[in-house]
Chains A and B, each alone.
Chain A
């Protein structure tokens, strides 16, 4: 299939992100300037997001067998580009005092974003693998970026190698599953799974689906494939953790949703059972293990395991539901999750630098009385993660509950309730610590108020958190419209 000129317009966001990386690289080659590199990256990502938003209403096109550029993929392209832009801004301050070359971080960030955009715009296994590996390769670099810096705060090398080895293993599983499908059908589109069933037995197909699901579950840090998550979260520099936790998860989840929707993988009872068990274990393991953590990054890591479990409930529901409510649930929840995770990690990054990360709960004692606005933002993000009204997280949870009720998944819903109840404890524990009187020996004195750009991003996220929590009707309408096409 030849690409014609009309195919290029839908690809514009991807092309813009790619050329941003090339441009930034060229700029570094000519003259190393930290602020210029960051500027080019931020502007390029913003431009890509705007273009994606503009072409979204009337684009619905299969561009080459590998890529589908529809409203759904463009919606997530916008989210990913904006989120990547925000992370670039967070990194600006975080890396400012790194005693090493800082500019290449933004190249990695840009390339990772290219991978993520490909992931959300594919309905083909090859596109999926290309996107995923582009994302992962860049992430290995981003995680280990501060490795040569003498005072690097964390165990970046450990985190990076751990992620690399386990991630490669998971990719292996995934590729094996794809190979099984290809061996029977000779195609690699998601829809080929439908043919596999006709060609050969159910058992064979289930094996393929299970292998692919295991790989996906690893990337989503669903239990029991979650072991790497807390270590990698804790060991990485905060901006890289943020990238992994927000864009990495969202892009992978869109792939999972498309895969499940297109391939009808859930027609097998055993696959439904496996997905349900994974959801239950993820919710329980994530919430229970978060209870006893004192490190905020580890808490957020475990909480992300639980949140992915909640989302999986909506994915399971999406197969049984008649309407599109559960797809909307996944979509809205992902948007909400990106907003609140960005906000929570953003607060951490504003207090941290590559030399010194403040990621223990104790560091945040008395934050409410020291910088009330930042504390309010952090509290808002945590309450949103806990699913309390007035925040976007509540609407997300509402959607998941609705999807579950609609398909009568009562057992999964009760696990969701129990999990949310346990979750309250560790979120409130952080909030309570912030409410306690300031203790003498904590080092939060340097609130780095000069980080105006990061504060600005946090303000935007906070406004989004509340606005989408109180009046989500406009975004609901958009999500309803795009979910029809998936």
Chain B
């Protein structure tokens, strides 16, 4: 029930924020913040509700469309709970980053923000595949509005591209979901979209690999991975800061979550056959996008390409499909959620202050904005995988796990860490060191981070250090889920092997 309350809270909060704009344009942000804080309380209650016996921390299951065996089935296990925490945390941060930046049509903005987050929460907790698809699409429209209304110079193109990419690949996934439900119909006589029912399906026929690809393409578009990544740099560079935070921090993570939860467990056999291809794509993503990142002059595009590169480690980990690699993928999801969101906020903060994203115009900012420089240095170092911070744990575990299944690709992927160091440090060097280049922009508003900004950057720093120093508190939560998934897929492969 708590999950339905959580999602309902965000939907209702969004409507309240929109309506309240009529009274005072400053109310929506306050309402949005209160809503997210309440949401965080609910997530904390959920995390404490673990009784150690049941795999699921909470669940609610109600009949929705009985004709097709579709139910309103929300549930949260350890993995979902981790991602829910990430979502509400970044939701609060995103509201913080929009606090001063969004001054027009505030009500509608916070409405869209909360509805996107509600959709994401739904994606992380839906255990009915129809419901999952429903939420998967629900989060698109508000995000489209965020980019299309509050975005920058080329917002129409970026918003359209984002929408078409995700929607078309979403339809491929819909076909796959329906095919699974239909197989269930053939095997057991009734339609079912229930995750656990579909997990038990044994025969999927000769089409299994194609159906698996429907999921794979949808998830790797969202993730994104080469060759479906081209929407991301556009979307990020055009989105307002809060939009980028949500996009990089949680929306991309729905793709990663989908791979772990659906793409592999539902098709263990086909996925094993497909793993070398997926891992190759991952390695290409890591190296190619790191290389492309080096060639960018737009700071947001640069960070977007590094996102693709880092998400390559998630794909690599998922398709290695063993405990270390999966745990690594989960930690990478969380750590990258924080570090990428922080980097986008820094880029957005810079753009808000000096009205340019062009790095060629920047230089020598350290003395001018020392706190911002220090924070940027921290997150760059986190992103490049410095031991002691979350990203290192994630990527290390992924490589450790992947090494057991595919040595050449792991070795190649590992060299991505070198690229990461190069571009991270290059950005810091370009923007904050050297000669102060003031002539290229108007620096009258170029102020250092204020107290509010320091609070939320501080919170994200704490999160990354926590993940880096004591990852067990996160690993412990996801361990059971991951072991169950591994156990189940081994069983399934064994059964299919016997037949």
Contacts and interface: CB of A to CB of B under 8 A. Distances in A.
Interface string A386-425: 0011100010001001101110000001001110110011
B168 A477 contact: no
Interface string A371-392: 0000000000001000011100
A268 interface: no
A357 interface: no
A113 to B, nearest CB: 31
B138 A389 contact: yes
A158 interface: no
A428 interface: yes
Interface of A: 369, 383, 388-390, 394, 398, 401-402, 404-406, 413, 416-418, 420-421, 424-425, 428-429, 432, 435, 471-473, 476-477, 480
Given A420-B168, A421-B164, A424-B164, A413 B175 contact: yes
Contact of A473 (B65, B138, B181): B65
A355 B134 CA distance: 43
B134 A389 contact: yes
16 contacts: A383-B141, A389-B133, A398-B178, A401-B175, A404-B175, A405-B175, A405-B179, A406-B182, A413-B175, A417-B168, A424-B167, A428-B163, A432-B156, A432-B159, A472-B65, A473-B64
B144 interface: yes
A406 B130 CA distance: 16
A406 B66 CA distance: 18
B484 to A, nearest CB: 29
Which 10 pairs across A and B sit closest by C-beta, in order of nearness? A421-B168, A405-B178, A389-B137, A417-B171, A476-B67, A389-B134, A402-B178, A405-B179, A473-B65, A424-B164
B115 to A, nearest CB: 10
B172 interface: yes
A401 B174 contact: yes
A428 B175 contact: no
Contacts of A405: 175, 178-179, 182
A417 B172 CA distance: 7
Nearest to B178: A405
Contact of B160 (A389, A425, A435): A425
Contact of A435 (B140, B145, B171): B145
B426 interface: no
B334 to A, nearest CB: 28
Nearest to B183: A405
Contacts of A418: 168
Nearest to B72: A471
A421 B160 contact: no
Interface in B66-114: 66-68, 105
A473 B67 contact: yes
Contact of A420 (B65, B105, B149, B171): B171
B148 interface: yes
A428 B178 contact: no
Given A406-B182, A432-B148, A473-B67, A398 B164 contact: no
Contacts of A390: 134, 138
A421 B178 contact: no
Given A389-B137, A402-B178, A413-B175, A424 B163 contact: yes
B156 to A, nearest CB: 6
Contacts of A473: 63-67
B476 to A, nearest CB: 35
A276 to B, nearest CB: 17
Contacts of B138: 389-390
Interface in B133-179: 133-134, 137-138, 140-141, 144-145, 148-149, 156, 159-160, 163-164, 167-168, 171-172, 174-175, 178-179
Contacts of B159: 428, 432
Given A390-B138, A424-B163, A424-B167, A401 B178 contact: yes
Contacts of A472: 65
B66 A428 contact: no
Nearest to B211: A405
Nearest to B137: A389
Best-surrounded residue of A401, A417, A480 (most CB of chain B within 10 A): A417
